[in-house]
Amino acid sequence: MRCPRCQNLEDRVLDSRTVRDGQAIRRRRECIQCNKRFTTYEYIEPEEHKVRKRDGRLELYSREKLLKSIRIAFAKRPFHLDQLEQIVNQIENEIFVGENEISSSKIGELVMSIISKIDEVAYIRFASVYKRFQETGDFRSEISILRKENS
C-alpha cells in the first residue's frame, strides 16, 4: 500500500483485527521509510451477477428490481414482504448456481414457475407484464394452461 506521505510502497503491519462484526479487517500500517502510520480496511468483494437482456445488453443483476416486480405482482394479495423475500431467495438460489450470467427470459420463466405454485392472481399479473400480452386471447390461453397444470 502506497504511503500517503512519502509514496513509498513498503510498509509493515502493526496490528490487524476483525471489525464491523466480521465484515472487515482493519490493519494499522507503518511506512518503513518515513514511519508514517495509516489504516487500511479489507472487505470481501461482492460477487457481481449479470443479466443478459433480450436486446443483448448486459446489465448488473438487481435484487431490488426483481423484488419490486414480484411486489407489484403480489399487490394486495395476502402475503407478507418476508414471504416475497423468500421467493426472491429461492429464485437467486436457482439462477446463480455456478454462473455469473443469466438471461432475463430465464429469470422470467423461473419467477413464473415459482409464483404459479403460490398464487394464481400474482402469477397472471406477472405473466401478463412479462409476456406483454397483446390480446386477451393470449391471456385466456395462459389461464387455461395454468388451470391444467394445477389440476
- Segment contacting Zn ion (CB under 5 A): 8-16, 48-56, 122-130, 133-141? 8-16
Residue with cell 443483476: 61
DSSP 116-134: HTT-HHHHHHHHHHHTT--
How many residues bind to Zn ion according to rule CB under 5 A? 8
Binding Zn ion (rule: CB under 5 A), the pick from 26, 27, 28, 36 is 36
Q: Is 29 in the site for Zn ion (CB under 5 A)?
A: no
Where does residue 71 rank: exposed (0-12), middle (13-18), buried (19+ CB within 10 A)?
middle
Strand partners, 30: 12, 37
Contact code string over 83-112 relative to Zn ion, x by CB under 5 A:
------------------------------
Helix (H, G, I), strand (E, B) or coil at 143: helix
129: contact with Zn ion by CB under 5 A: no
Closest CB to Zn ion among residues 3, 112 = 3
- Give the residue among 129, 147, 114 at the shortest CA–CA distance from 73: 129
Q: Kindly list the residues in this chain that would bind Zn ion in the complex (CB under 5 A).
A: 3, 5-6, 8, 31, 33-34, 36
